[in-house]
Structure 1
């Protein structure tokens, strides 16, 4: 598994399990994924 990290902060951004498309100039990556939010409290 490849984990992609932000080069400035070092935070993990995404891994290779998601669909990744590279832009035509190779400067950007487009990743299809989902965000999950876990909360203890009811809103």
Structure 2
């Protein structure tokens, strides 16, 4: 399974939760798109 991750915006706790959930669902590969760390840790 491939997990698609978009617009993380530096939100590490949310990223960790999504990675754990995707791993539990069987994701073996990840595609990252959008902004990874733009606008600081908690953009509005």
TM-score by length of 1: 0.23
Structure number with higher relative contact order (C-alpha < 8 Å, ≥ 6 residues apart): 2
Computing the radius of gyration from Cα coordinates, the structure with the larger value is 1
Instruction: From the two aligned structures, give the one with the greater helix fraction.
Output: 2
